[in-house]
Chains A and B, each alone.
Chain A
C-alpha cells in the first residue's frame, strides 16, 4: 500500500529526471514545459479513481520516455558516456594526490565530455580546485602560531601570528570542504550511471 506522500515522491523523482533530461534547454524554455507536465500529472491524478502507486506509475508511463520529450523539444539524442567519462569524478576527487596533475587531467576531461551539463562542469571545476587534495592544502593554511618571550621584569610577552577559525566555525567548514566535492563527484557518477542504464 502506498501513501500520497510516496506517490508525490514518485512524481517528484520523475520531474527531476525530466529536468535533467532537458538540462540542455535554456531555463526559460525548459521550466514552462516541466510546469505544464507537472500540471498534466496533477490533472491526471485528480481524475484517477484510485490514486495508488500503480495508477500513478501508469500515468507517468503514458507521458512517454524522456528521450521522446527531449526530441520533441528539438534536442538531439542524449550522447552515451565515452570510455573516459567514468574516470572524471575519480580524477577530480583524488587526482590532486597524483602530484596535482591528476586533477587537471580530470578537469580537461570534464570540459571535453559531451555528457556533462555546463552546471556540472562549473560545479566540478569550482568545488574544489584540486579536489580533496585542494581541501587538505586549504585546511592547512589557516594555522596560527604563538611565540612567547620572557622579560627582565618577569613578565611573559606572547605574540600570535597567522589566524585560526573558531572551533564552532572550523568544524562545519571542515565537514563541508570534504563533503561538497564528494557530493559533486557522486552527481557526476549518477549522470554516467543514468546514461548507461
Chain B
C-alpha cells in the first residue's frame, strides 16, 4: 500500500539511515554525544536530540561504536564515541549499497543525477 503522507515515508527512511549517518560522522573522528545530536538535528536527520542516546547505546551493544572517557575543561570527564573496526566495515558496506539504492530510486523517479540533491 502506498503511503500518501510523504513526511511519514521520509521519516521512516530517515530512521533507516540515521545509524549509518552516525557511523559516518564518527569516521571523521571521535564524537561527543551532545555535538553528534546537534549535528544530526541540524541536518534534520533525527526528530529530537534525545533520540541519539538510545541509538548510540544500541550501536555500542552491536559493537559498531565504542566509548572513551576524556577530561573536560568544562566539568566532569566526558564520554566520547569512536568508530570500531566493525563499525567501519558496516559503514563501507552501507555506502556502496546506498549509492546503488539512490541511483536506482533516482532513475525510477526520473531525477537526473545533478538535480537529485535536495537544497
Contacts and interface: CB of A to CB of B under 8 A. Distances in A.
Interface residues of B, number: 20
B51 A72 contact: yes
Q: Which residue, A33, A42, A69, has most C-beta atoms of chain B within 10 A?
A: A69
Contacts of A36: 33, 53, 56-57, 79
B74 A46 contact: yes
A133 B102 CA distance: 67
Contacts, number: 59
B51 to A, nearest CB: 4
A64 interface: yes
A63 B57 contact: no
A33 B48 contact: no
B95 interface: no
The dominant DSSP class at the A interface is helix
Interface in B13-62: 33-34, 37, 41, 46-51, 53-58
Given A36-B56, A39-B34, A63-B50, 17 more contacts: A33-B54, A33-B57, A36-B33, A36-B57, A36-B79, A37-B50, A39-B79, A40-B37, A43-B74, A44-B34, A62-B41, A63-B48, A68-B48, A68-B50, A71-B51, A73-B54, A73-B57
Interface of B: 33-34, 37, 41, 46-51, 53-58, 74-75, 78-79
27 contacts: A33-B53, A33-B54, A36-B79, A39-B33, A39-B34, A39-B79, A40-B33, A40-B37, A40-B49, A40-B53, A42-B75, A43-B34, A43-B74, A63-B49, A63-B50, A64-B46, A64-B50, A64-B51, A68-B47, A68-B48, A68-B50, A68-B51, A69-B48, A69-B51, A69-B53, A72-B54, A74-B58
